[in-house]
């Protein structure tokens, strides 16, 4: 009986260490640790839409281009499928 008890004492810590546990702590966040820190910075006036030169031309052409792309892709897809 003492041999089984000794074996049990030796085997129990090994089993307990091999079992994974569930950890709910969040990731530690630090500053300036990211490899991209300082490499990607927005332009000074990136979101200053009011000072965009030729604003009506730029946004009008962007809207027309998006509209043409939105209609052009399905038309191309249908023509491609019908030509198979």
pLDDT band at 49 (very low <50, low <70, confident <90, very high): confident
Render pLDDT for 3-19 as a digit per residue (tens, 0 to 9): 777 777 766 655 555 66
User: So what's the pLDDT on residue 51?
Assistant: 85
Better pLDDT: 40 or 2: 2
Render pLDDT for 17-43 as a digit per residue (tens, 0 to 9): 566 777 777 766 655 556 666 666 666
User: So what's the pLDDT on residue 25?
Assistant: 73
The mean pLDDT of the chain is 79
- Non-local CB neighbours of 45 within 8 Å, separated by 6+ positions: 51
How crowded is the C-beta side of 11, counted as CA atoms within 13 Å?
6
The residue ranges of every structural domain in the chain are 53-84
Euclidean distance between CA atoms 78 and 82, whole angstroms: 6
């Amino acid at each position: 009986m003492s041999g089984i008890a000794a074996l049990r004492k030796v085997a129990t810590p090994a089993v307990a260490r091999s079992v994974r546990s569930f950890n709910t702590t969040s990731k530690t966040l630090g500053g300036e640790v990211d490899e991209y820190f300082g490499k990607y910075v927005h332009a000074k006036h990136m979101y200053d839409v009011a000072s965009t030169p030729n604003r009506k031309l730029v946004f009008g052409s962007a809207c027309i281009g998006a509209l043409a792309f939105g209609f052009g892709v399905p038309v191309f897809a249908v023509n491609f499928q019908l030509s198979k």
